[in-house]
């Protein structure tokens, strides 16, 4: 029961990050046991890494990694001790040995010389230190890294970075993006300039509608989600497209429809009779009416207007002159 209490205290020292006290207690606990060798090695490793930290010979990350190795090595040794048990004689000397161990400067000096194994091939040369009567260090290779420590090192070096990358990628995918939609249009003439339209965006099971003059901004779009966009404006061809927003600006090249590309109608006299052969003039373009009085004059993009001046000419004289809006699919009725 008493050795279980001591083992528990050692674990408490480790949890409080008080490794010097934990190792000091463990060395006393293991006096005259085969496990003293490993406790001495862990003490030496801790003293060396602390000295190198003070001298600035190792970085903080390297020091933390080495201290974690020592910590896990000590915990593994504690587990082994619990499984094997300790002799009653060793337990009786534990408390008095705690203070005595720290007063042996010659042991500390030998350990500092011996623990060059940390950054070498774990070989200690030219030492005659002995401790507890069952450890001798000479020209001998000492394997200090346990299997648990090796597994931990592999985990830290390989799996932790992979987990970090995976977490970063997941965080990136969960971040919403904004979408800026801008129109691109070069009018054939000032009268055909784009004024405003409407953008409808379907995403995430909802619909957003915004008026657009130059650009419209949509927010809270889930990254990787496919959205549907619809553009509509008077006098322009509609646009429907489906895409996956990337956070960059979306440029919509818009084009005029054919609603202003034709001036058409019918010419009749006062009694409603169709008049053929009448000249119809729009700007510098002319056409003659058919026998049924109808006419259809195509207008190229550069001459299209929202309002056109329409003239009817008979025998070289303008007999009808009127400027009116060009309404899609509505004919012009001219009565002479």
Q: Is the pLDDT of residue 291 over 90?
A: yes
48-81 pLDDT, tens digit per residue, is 767 777 777 777 777 777 777 777 777 777 676 7
- Domain locations in the chain as residue ranges: 2-158, 177-253, 262-335
Q: What is the pLDDT of residues 43-57, one digit of tens each?
A: 777 677 677 777 777
For the segment 275-283, the average pLDDT, to the nearest whole number, is 96
Class of the domain covering 177-253: mainly beta
- Which helix (H) or strand (E) segment is 215 a member of? strand 215-221
Q: Which range, 13-17, 31-35, 171-175, 267-271, is most confident?
A: 267-271
Whole-number average pLDDT of the chain? 77
pLDDT of 21 strictly over 60 = yes
Is pLDDT of 256 > 70? yes
Q: Compute how many other C-beta atoms are within 10 angstroms of the C-beta atom of residue 279.
A: 18
Q: Which residues 6+ apart lie within 8 Å of 189 measured at CB? A: 302, 303, 304, 305
Q: What is the pLDDT of residue 284?
A: 95
262-335 belongs to which CATH class?
mainly beta
pLDDT digits (tens, 9 = 90+) for 152-171: 777 777 777 777 787 776 77
Whether 86 and 31 have beta carbons less than 8 Å apart is answered as: no
pLDDT of residue 105: 53
pLDDT at residue 131, as a whole number: 43
Distance of CA 68 to the CA centre of its chain: 31
Tokens for 82, please give them. 């619990």
Identify the pLDDT of residue 172.
63
pLDDT tens digit sequence for 86-119: 444 444 444 344 344 444 554 445 444 444 443 4
pLDDT above 50 for 7: yes
């Amino acid at each position: 029961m008493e050795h279980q209490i001591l083992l528990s205290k050692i674990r408490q020292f480790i949890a409080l990050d008080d490794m010097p006290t934990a190792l000091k207690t463990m060395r006393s606990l293991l006096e005259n046991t085969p496990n003293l060798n490993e406790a001495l090695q862990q003490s030496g490793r801790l003293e060396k890494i602390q000295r190198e930290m003070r001298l600035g010979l190792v970085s903080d990350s390297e020091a933390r990694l080495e201290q974690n190795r020592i910590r896990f090595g000590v915990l593994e040794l504690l587990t082994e001790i619990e499984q094997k048990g300790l002799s009653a004689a060793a337990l009786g000397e534990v408390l008095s040995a705690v203070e005595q161990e720290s007063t042996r400067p010659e042991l500390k000096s030998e350990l500092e010389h011996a623990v060059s194994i940390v950054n070498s091939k774990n070989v200690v040369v030219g030492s005659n230190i002995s401790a507890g009567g069952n450890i001798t260090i000479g020209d001998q290779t000492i394997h200090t890294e346990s299997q648990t420590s090796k597994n931990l090192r592999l985990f830290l070096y390989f799996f932790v970075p992979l987990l970090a990358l995976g977490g970063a990628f997941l965080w990136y995918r969960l971040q919403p993006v904004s979408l800026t939609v801008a129109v691109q249009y070069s009018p054939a003439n000032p009268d055909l300039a784009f004024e405003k339209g409407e953008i409808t965006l379907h995403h995430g099971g909802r619909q957003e509608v915004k008026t657009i003059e130059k650009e419209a901004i949509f927010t809270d779009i889930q990254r990787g989600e496919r959205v549907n966009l619809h553009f509509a404006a008077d006098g322009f061809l509609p646009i429907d497209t489906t895409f996956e927003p990337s956070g960059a600006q979306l440029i919509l090249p818009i084009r005029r429809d054919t609603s202003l590309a034709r001036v058409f109608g019918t010419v009749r006299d006062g009694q409603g009779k169709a008049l053929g052969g009448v000249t119809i003039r729009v700007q510098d373009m002319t056409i003659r009416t058919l026998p049924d009085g109808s006419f259809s004059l195509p207008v190229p993009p550069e001459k299209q207007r929202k309002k056109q001046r329409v003239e009817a000419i008979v025998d070289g004289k303008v007999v009808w002159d009127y400027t009116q809006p060009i309404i899609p699919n509505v004919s012009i009725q001219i009565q002479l």
